[in-house]
Chains A and B, each alone.
Chain A
Amino acid sequence: MQKSLLMIPSKCTGCSQCELACSYAKEEAFNAAKSRIKIFDFPEKSRHVPYTCTQCAEAWCMKACPVDAISEDKKTGAKIVSAELCVGCKVCTIACPFGTINYQQDTGKVVKCDLCGGDPECVKICPTEAILYVNADATGDARMREWAAKSDEASDVTPN
């Protein structure tokens, strides 16, 4: 069964430990700017939201890649970028409607969450269990529609 990361914003304190753990695991640097997971702040709602790739089955990035540089990790279902094959064209960064695959200018390649091979560092470090590693089967298409539908609901429920 494919698993993916589930974020629970109400539990997130915005401490940034996930960003640091991620950047350290992936880049050997404590640098939130290099993390695959990002925290966005909503001061008016007193909320912090961890945000990263949902490993959607439709994988816009994977389909758009012109050189077969993104593949699925059969074990975890994560969509993985091969730094060797990636030419740095950035097509995936605009094709992904979630904006969770990003270009790094210093390496000339794109990076995204790869679920750390099935043992995500962000999940392990989060002191409040705001990031969980759970079963997932929603496709990208369904998820996008679902999110769009949610946004309509949200306009009635949360007039911030």
Chain B
Amino acid sequence: MTYVIVGAGPAGVAAAETLAKTAKGSEIILVGGEPEPPYSRMAIPYVLTGSVGEDGTYLRKTENWYEDRNIRYIHGRAESLSTGDSALRLARGEEMKFEKLLISTGARPIKPPVPGLDLEGVHHCWTLEDVRNIKGLTGEGKDVILIGAGFIGSIILEALLESGSNLTVVEAEDRMVPRMMNQVAGNMIKAWCEKKGVTVLTSTRVAGVAQADGGRLEVDLGGNKKTVDLVVVAAGVKPNADFLEGSGIEVEDGILVDNHLKTSADNVYAAGDCAKGPDYSGGWSVHAIQPTAVEHGRIAALNMAGQVTPYKGSLQMNVLDTAGLISTSVGLFDGVEGGEEAEDLNEQRFKYIRLTFKGDYMIGALTLGRTDQVGVLRGLIHTPVSLGPWKQKLMADPAKFVEAYIDRTQVI
């Protein structure tokens, strides 16, 4: 059997390793679209701060890791796919035949329709190449504007701040991390970042960017203007699925898959940031996070290898560190109609916890200012653990979620 995996991020690598274990003796070809060894996008901020070198982002650190598993890693960018004759065409004209194909090409950042975003000095922070480009433009005395304070934007914010830059972050919506935090938590994160010296402009749009003297850029914030050394754009992404045009494979905001991660074509699967997979909280979503990419890769590979494995769905879960304030967000933190919620808030101490429930189960959670045992929130929601008498106890004291988990999962 010949398996081709296109896209060598965490989803592609997890799939290749799973195939190497479950489909022994098969040909496994991992196609990566970037020149480096397979690396992790999410480790890029730590290259920016200098806490690791580029090799610190590599997904596997052991020498000959791929060769030793009979995984052939090649460089190349997919340009088109013909499902009819099971062939993937690469940029340099090479055609690859496959019996089963996994698409794990991830996503790429988009530029909002703002004039001047093509100027030199405007960058994303998405690839190792991006980091090389922006590193010299950050640091003590450098002025930086970050467009977008979503999850990815806020992670980049942390790195830019740590690098010592004077930082302004501009967010079109009315709070920071709007899709990961509610109003209460979003506002607290904003207040915290402001205390740490970041200028946070919410409900603000960048009207345009123009060239200024000395290679600097003038950013129009809707009247108010600011001159900076660097503009970083983190204002949303789209799936790397352009090469599927004409293939018949259905794509919306991600490649459509069934609950075995198979696309609309019989021998083609999709995983990770490019896939709109089953959402544990209901429906289908692009959960553009590392744990989902790895789970997708593993489950898709098992199904490709003929081990029929339905996926129970990924759970949206994020941990964020904004200038030392740590927040987590899991599942349906807004709650659902007919559900219940419990909160404990201490604004002065930047502590907050919110749990949401439906019937006997927890379905979502937010925490601010807590690092200990946050994984239990996932355990409670994703297992799922029936709460029984603990539901009422958690309604009264939501911080007791670890006790709830222990008491409901162990005989004590």
Contacts and interface: CB of A to CB of B under 8 A. Distances in A.
Contacts, number: 160
Contacts of A159: 388-389
A56 to B, nearest CB: 12
B412 A94 contact: no
Interface in B272-303: 289-291, 294, 298
Contacts of A108: 51
B77 interface: no
Most chain-B Cβ atoms within 10 A of its Cβ — which of A60, A66, A89, A160?
A: A66
B163 to A, nearest CB: 15
Contact of A64 (B52, B57, B294): B294
Interface stretch (A23-31, A45-53, A115-123, A131-139): A45-53
Interface residue SS majority, chain A: mixed
A97 interface: yes
A150 B14 CA distance: 31
A150 B409 contact: yes
Interface in A63-107: 63-64, 66-68, 85, 87-105
Interface in B182-237: none
B313 to A, nearest CB: 15
B409 A42 contact: no
Interface string B254-284: 0000000000000000000000000000000
Contacts of B378: 94-97
Contacts of B52: 67, 87
A66 B379 contact: no
Contacts of A10: 412
B291 A91 contact: yes
A98 B379 contact: yes
A14 interface: no
B386 interface: yes
Interface string B364-405: 000000011111111100111110110000000000001101
B42 A148 contact: no
A150 B411 contact: yes
Interface stretch (B68-76, B110-118, B323-331, B334-342): B323-331
Interface residues of B, number: 54
Contacts of B407: 42, 45, 154, 160
B148 interface: no
A104 B290 CA distance: 21
Contact of B382 (A40, A97, A160): A97
B57 A67 contact: yes
Contacts of B388: 151, 154-155, 159
B409 A148 contact: yes
Contacts of A160: 389, 407
B43 A144 contact: no
Contacts of B385: 147-148, 151
A85 B56 contact: yes
Contact of A100 (B56, B61, B330, B375): B375
Given A47-B412, A63-B14, A67-B40, A87 B379 contact: no
A98 B376 contact: yes
B103 to A, nearest CB: 20
B123 to A, nearest CB: 21
A40 B326 contact: no
B60 interface: yes
A78 to B, nearest CB: 17
Contacts of B10: 66
Given A105-B324, A151-B408, A100 B373 contact: yes
B379 A97 contact: yes
B19 to A, nearest CB: 15
A49 B42 contact: no
B40 A90 contact: no
Given A49-B406, A63-B294, A105-B326, A148 B375 contact: no
A154 B408 contact: yes
A148 B383 contact: yes
B44 to A, nearest CB: 10
B79 interface: no
Given A64-B290, A147-B409, A99 B371 contact: no
A93 B321 CA distance: 13
B59 A94 contact: no
A10 B229 CA distance: 63
A102 B317 contact: no
Contacts of B411: 150, 154
A8 B20 CA distance: 40
B350 to A, nearest CB: 13
B252 to A, nearest CB: 26
Given A66-B43, A151-B386, A159-B389, A95 B375 contact: yes
Interface of A: 9-10, 38, 40-42, 45, 47, 49, 51, 60, 63-64, 66-68, 85, 87-105, 108, 144-145, 147-148, 150-152, 154-155, 159-160
Which 5 pairs across A and B sit closest by C-beta, in order of nearness? A99-B373, A97-B379, A147-B409, A99-B376, A66-B40
10 contacts: A64-B291, A67-B52, A94-B374, A98-B376, A99-B374, A101-B375, A148-B384, A150-B411, A151-B409, A154-B407
